[in-house]
Amino acid sequence: MLNIDDLQVELESEAGLVCAIDGLKLAIERGETFALVGESGCGKSMTALALMRLLPEAGYVAGGDVHIGRGADALDVLALPESRMRAVRGGRIGMIFQEPATSLNPVMTVGRQVVEAIEAHTPLRGAAAHAQALDWLRRVGIPEPERRFGDYPFRMSGGQKQRVMIAIALAAEPDFLIADEPTTALDVTIQAQILALLQDLQREHRMGMLLITHDLAVVSGVAHRVALMYAGQIVEVAPADEFFAAPRHPYARALLRALPGGDRRGTPLEAIAGTVPAMSSRFEGCRFAPRCADALPRCAGTRPELLDVAAGHGVRCLLFAPGAAPRAVPMPAALAAAASVPAQPRVQASALPAPEAPLLDVQDLRVRFAVRGGLMQRVVGHFDAVGGVSFQVRPAQTLALVGESGCGKTTTGKAIVQLLRRIATVQGRALLQGRDLLELQGAELQAARRDVQIIFQDPFASLNPRMRVAEILDEGLAALQPDLDAAERRRRIERLTEQVGLRRDALGRYPHEFSGGQRQRIAIARALAVQPRLIVCDEPTSALDVSVQAQILNLLRELQRELGVSYLFITHNIGVVEYIADHVAVMRAGRIEEQGVCAEVLARPAREYTRTLLAAVPRLGMR
């Protein structure tokens, strides 16, 4: 058992003392998957860092206990000296970090990093450790592991880096695994493989797992128990089946109503108003009360306790306090609809406007990278990442580009906005209303950047760590819309900040002070700031929890309707594709495998590869 009792974590900040985790209690058995879910910034990742004793410099454990094992053999994790903690960290408790791009060592090959974990925590050395590392890279789905063993992280896609991170965490076969968004950057087929691998390891080694994620469909498919976290507290904990069949807390029901899908197409998602409160606040009552549609007058001044409403089912809500009126708990519509989902998704066909001249016309796009080797890093070959793709994005419409990690989706998007010209050979045409984006240079290219923006897959790597959020958002406005004065730019920035679900006090903070989901919202705000006509959205909602995802999808739909903006939407989330896309193109190994109207392709796929992708999509209520 991994037992956490009354854990309190505090951080010192400019805004004052931040209570990031307040009285956390949970226990994870060997062989059990315990899911910790909730909005970005509620304390999920901070919980993981506290268990591994990897808190930031300003953070510390203010109270509570963390033990591994039972009775006299229990190990007090928080009391161990750092020398003994190193054996626990990676050996007894492994961790898959949320952002592999910042967790992998950029100056070590990925193979050497897996070998390092094996040699640190197992008796294997030399050739045996090398062979074991190759086996783990193969098991997590790295293609050609012998060749990729000597690659550095920057040569891999976001999904491939995530797989390497998973291999490092599992290589020592720990007793417990903390998986912080382990499948966020993965496409659905690799996600299914990884989840199946984790479940196999659990059965084989009785490994316990704390799964931190915002993907409720994944939780529904693999978790034994679920804890819902809000503003540093557990607000509901229950067996997974019971949590999804009859969620009690208003926050849980609101999250399930916010899920996108084909049945919600054409209507706004039920996003939760407001944001998670600042953890430096002094809370007098229920922390969710300001956003709760069911709040009672006394909720603002009375602190709720975690109450047992059924065996193993606890809820922190005054609606279930002794003496409160009994409440019916209907199954949320999102889960009721999903409970009878067939093998293929149901997508409502939307009435598309009559075809008109495309805003973006991509013709035979090819991207080739040089492969270097040897001491002098000379060119020893070439790799065709994109092998001749053609598609069109029409005004005020969305084309979704889907496919497995490494198939060339992100490379296609970066090539269109001219971000690969110095590191790759790009051929073909990308016509934006007659202008070939691939031919533009200098002032013409800068002018075109006002019309074409990109939201990057990795928000941490794309935000300047030395600039505050206000400076990051103002930089693009000042460069691309010089006619706006400082006051108008500030008004637009403040409005955008609220639209993407951030508080205004975020403008004075640096990127490292935010969670992964909050950083993604900053990146989205930056792309929207100059009001472009086309946005290349590279996994814009992959790092967001479902409530913020609903806010962002509603915002993107609203901007499309009001401003006529078009989206090239790169994603592996089929639910998002069903909800927002007009057309879809399925990509495989650098080529378009199938494309057409979204409803037709997803409901009646013509190619076996497309059918395989759709069959791997996790859905609520399906185990």
Side chain identity at 502, as an amino acid letter?
A: L
**Confidence class for position 339, pLDDT limits 50, 70, 90:** very low
pLDDT at 551: 80
Q: How many CA atoms lie within 13 A of 374 on its CB side?
A: 8
pTM to 2 decimals? 0.76
pLDDT at 196: 84
**Per mean pLDDT, which range of 262-276, 324-338, 475-489, 558-572 is the poorest?**
324-338
How far apart (Å, rounded) are the C-alpha atoms in residues 35 and 210?
6
pLDDT at 106: 93
CB-based contacts of 530: which residues, under 8 Å, 6+ apart? 450, 453, 476, 477, 480, 481
pLDDT at 376: 75
How far apart (Å, rounded) are the C-alpha atoms in residues 360 and 436?
9
**Confidence class for position 542, pLDDT limits 50, 70, 90:** confident
**Confidence class for position 355, pLDDT limits 50, 70, 90:** low
pLDDT exceeds cutoff 60 at 352: no
**Confidence class for position 443, pLDDT limits 50, 70, 90:** confident
Fold match flag (30-51+84-245 vs 360-615): yes
Within 10 Å of residue 491's Cβ, how many Cβ atoms? 11
> In the 8-state DSSP scheme, what is residue 108?
S
What value does the mean pLDDT take over residues 59-82?
A: 89
What value does the mean pLDDT take over residues 213-219?
A: 86
How far apart (Å, rounded) are the C-alpha atoms in residues 227 and 247?
11
Higher local confidence (pLDDT), 20 or 618: 20
Tokens representing residue 414 in the block: 């970066």
pLDDT exceeds cutoff 50 at 344: no
How far apart (Å, rounded) are the C-alpha atoms in residues 316 and 25?
13
Task: Report the percentage of the chain scoring pLDDT > 70.
Answer: 94
8 A C-beta contact, residue 429 and residue 363: yes
User: Could you give the angle at which helices 126-139 and 158-170 cross, rounded to 10 degrees?
Assistant: 130
Residue 503 gets the label, from left (phi > 0), alpha (psi -120 to 50) or beta, of: beta
pLDDT exceeds cutoff 60 at 354: no
Closest C-alpha to 258, from 215, 224, 297, 299: 215
**Confidence class for position 337, pLDDT limits 50, 70, 90:** very low
Q: What confidence tens digit (pLDDT) does each residue in 138-188 have?
A: 988 888 999 999 999 988 877 788 889 989 998 988 989 999 888 776 777
Tokens representing residue 26 in the block: 């949970």
8 A C-beta contact, residue 334 and residue 619: no
pLDDT at 429: 95
Chain centre to alpha carbon of residue 14:
28
Tokens representing residue 552 in the block: 């962002």
Q: Which CATH class is domain 360-615?
A: alpha beta
pLDDT at 221: 87
Q: Across the chain, what does the average pLDDT equal?
A: 87
Q: What confidence tens digit (pLDDT) does each residue in 103-122 have?
A: 899 999 999 999 999 999 99
pLDDT at 515: 73
8 A C-beta contact, residue 176 and residue 209: yes
Domain parsing of the chain, residue ranges? 30-51+84-245, 250-274+289-338, 360-615
Closest C-alpha to 587, from 411, 379, 424, 469: 411
Alpha helices in 58-187 (DSSP H): 82-87, 100-103, 110-121, 126-139, 145-148, 158-170
What value does the mean pLDDT take over residues 133-140?
A: 92
CB contact burial 303-328 (16+ within 10 A = b; e otherwise): ebeebebeeebbbbbbbbeeeeeeee
How far apart (Å, rounded) are the C-alpha atoms in residues 426 and 367?
5
pLDDT exceeds cutoff 80 at 275: no
Return phi, psi of residue 335, to 5°: -80, -35
How far apart (Å, rounded) are the C-alpha atoms in residues 523 and 457?
9
Q: What confidence tens digit (pLDDT) does each residue in 544-600 have?
A: 778 778 888 888 888 888 888 999 999 888 888 999 999 999 999 999 999 999 999
pLDDT exceeds cutoff 60 at 345: no
pLDDT at 371: 81
Q: What confidence tens digit (pLDDT) does each residue in 473-500 have?
A: 999 899 888 889 999 999 999 988 888 8
**Confidence class for position 353, pLDDT limits 50, 70, 90:** low
Q: Which CATH number fits domain 30-51+84-245: 1.10.240.10, 3.30.930.10, 3.40.50.300, 3.40.920.10?
A: 3.40.50.300
User: Could you give the angle at which helices 158-170 and 110-121 cross, rounded to 10 degrees?
Assistant: 20
How far apart (Å, rounded) are the C-alpha atoms in residues 183 and 176?
18
Q: Which residues pair with 18 in a beta bridge?
A: 11
Mind giving me the DSSP string for 403-417?
A: E-TTSSHHHHHHHHT
pLDDT at 621: 62
pLDDT exceeds cutoff 50 at 341: no
What value does the mean pLDDT take over residues 5-12?
A: 92
Sign of CA dihedral 331, 543, 519, 43: positive
Q: What would the 3-class secondary structure string for 474-504 be?
A: HHHHHHHCCCCCHHHHHHHHHHHHHHCCCCH
> In the 8-state DSSP scheme, what is residue 439?
T
User: ∠ CA 457-218-67 to the nearest 5 degrees?
Assistant: 100
Q: What confidence tens digit (pLDDT) does each residue in 279-291 have?
A: 777 888 999 999 9
Higher local confidence (pLDDT), 150 or 543: 150
